[in-house]
Amino acid sequence: MLKELLESIFRNVPSGVGRAGKVKLSFSDLDEVLANGARWAVDKGYGTEKDLEHLEENGCMKGANPTKVSSEARKRGAPQLGTLGAGNHFLEIQKVDKIFLPEIAKIFGIEKEGQATVMIHTGSRGFGHQVCTDYLRILESRFRDELRKLPDRELVYAPSETKECEDYFSAMACAANYAWTNRHMIMHWIRESMVKTLGMKLEDIGLEVVYDVAHNIGKIEEYEIDGKKRKVYIHRKGATRAFPAGSPDIPKDHQKVGQCVLIPGSMGTASYILVGTETAKETFYSTAHGSGRVSSRAKMLKGFRGEEVARRLTQRGILSRPASWKVMAEEAPEAYKDIDEVARVTEEAGISKRVVRLVPMGVVKG
């Protein structure tokens, strides 16, 4: 059954490098996606109104302005909406392996060990990449003096309150909205595949959204700085927002316990659900986002073969459906740090608490 389900999802959700999606978008459709985020998806029949409550920013960041996005970005973005992509992006059918905090888990919708979950790890695809490339180029030529004082070209920035800063922020918000929409569509197709393969009604399967949170994003948030409340830019690059209990920016039903944090592991390893804490103030309410690479892609390709990696996963009872053997080799579990240690340290450091450990049963890999 799992094999059929995985096969059905693989056919229903386009994956792989640069693969085009099954939804044909005009540029004006795309602009609606960029401005309205996951709301657009719900209006078009993907997912429901209720899902939006469990998306960071309800799936739409304010201030998104499609006119600040280049036509190159549009050209890359329009055909790719509703695709998984490649690299470390994946889609997993998992089961609950361990519950650390049962009461909080219950609030997040995790009732018991052995319960099945689905995790989607993907983002803004070529669109977000192009927005980044475009603005790096703009900033590099506009802020040469500022760049000269920096030790790394990639750190080029736009001073706050400049036109370039506002423009970039509006374009980045478009990319965030694209990503929420992308994941929402993929989730909808997974639900479709489940209903079809299991021959059950969606209400009986469940499959409600636990949470959707970004881990490469810039946000304007308010913090007390030197005794004064100030709005600041928080840069979360490879970092997940982890707001504590009582935060007005998290779903109402989570406010008692804190924000739900998702840490996807690498292919074939565990993933974690955590909860935000007040002590994460030191990291401006940010926590880890994954297991972190230890071996480069090139190194992995030398030492591993994709077929072998898939075979070893099967031996451990994990089915895989890769779009490419090369990516399988690059993303072998050996390429990453130990996710259990990362999650343990995250808790010991006080920047979020472990709620649930999930292990994969089936993987769709781009």
Partner 1 sequence: MALEKWLWKKISLFGILSKGRNKIKEVNKIRLKEKLKKIGPCLWELPKEAKLGMKVPAWLFLSETLLKEVEEGAVEQVANVAFLPGIYKHSVALPDMHFGYS
Asked if residues 180 and 55 have their Cβ atoms less than 8 Å apart, the reply is yes
CA separation for the pair 280, 284 (Å, rounded):
6
Closest distance of CB 160 from partner 1, Å = 7
- Say whether residue 150 binds partner 1 (CB under 8 A): yes
Q: Whole-number minimum distance, CB 66 to partner 1, in Å? A: 26
Is 154 a binding residue for partner 1 by CB under 8 A? The answer is: yes
Can you tell me which of 101, 346, 355, 356 binds partner 1, judged by CB under 8 A?
346
Assess contact for 78 and 125: CB atoms under 8 A.
no
130 in Cβ contact with 70 (< 8 Å): yes
Nearer to partner 1, 249 or 338 (CB): 338
Stretch that binds partner 1, among 42-50, 77-85, 292-300, 307-315 (CB under 8 A): 292-300
- The answer to whether residues 84 and 90 touch, using CB atoms and an 8 Å cutoff, is yes
Nearer to partner 1, 282 or 307 (CB): 282
**155 binds partner 1 per the rule CB under 8 A:** yes
Binding-site member from 282, 307, 308, 316 for partner 1 (CB under 8 A): 282
**Residue 149 sits in the site that holds partner 1 (CB under 8 A):** yes
Span from 50-58, 148-156, 173-181, 317-325 in contact with partner 1 (CB under 8 A): 148-156
Select the residue interacting with partner 1 from 246, 294, 303, 311 (CB under 8 A): 294
361 touches partner 1 by CB under 8 A: no
The contacts of residue 8 (CB under 8 Å, 6+ apart) are 193, 196, 197
Torsion of the alpha carbons at 7, 87, 343 and 182, rounded to the nearest 10: -70
> What distance lies between CA 261 and its chain's CA centroid?
11
In the 3-class helix/strand/coil scheme, how is 100-116 assigned residue by residue? CCHHHHHHHCCCCCCCE
In whole angstroms, the minimum distance from the beta carbon of 136 to partner 1 comes to 11
Q: Return d(Cα 92, Cα 90) in angstroms, integer.
A: 6
Q: Print the binding letters for residues 206-245 with partner 1: x by CB under 8 A, - otherwise.
A: -----------------x-x------x----xxx------
Tokens representing residue 207 in the block: 């499959």
Judge whether 289 counts as a catalytic residue: yes
18 forms part of the interface with partner 1 (CB under 8 A): no
Q: Does 159 bind partner 1 (CB under 8 A)?
A: yes
| 106 near partner 1, judged by CB under 8 A | no
Angle 169-175-177 from CA coordinates, rounded to 5°: 105
* Beta carbons of 323 and 16 less than 8 angstroms apart: yes
DSSP 8-state assignment for residue 308: H
> What's the closest the beta carbon of residue 315 comes to partner 1, in angstroms?
26
Q: Which residues does 80 contact at the CB level (< 8 Å), separation at least 6?
A: 18, 19, 20, 21, 125, 126, 127
Exactly one of 284, 305, 321, 325 binds partner 1 (CB under 8 A); that residue is: 284
The contact set with partner 1 (CB under 8 A) reads 87, 146, 149-152, 154-155, 157, 159-160, 223, 225, 232, 237-239, 263, 282-284, 286-294, 337, 341-342, 344-346, 348-349, 351
* Catalytic site positions: 289
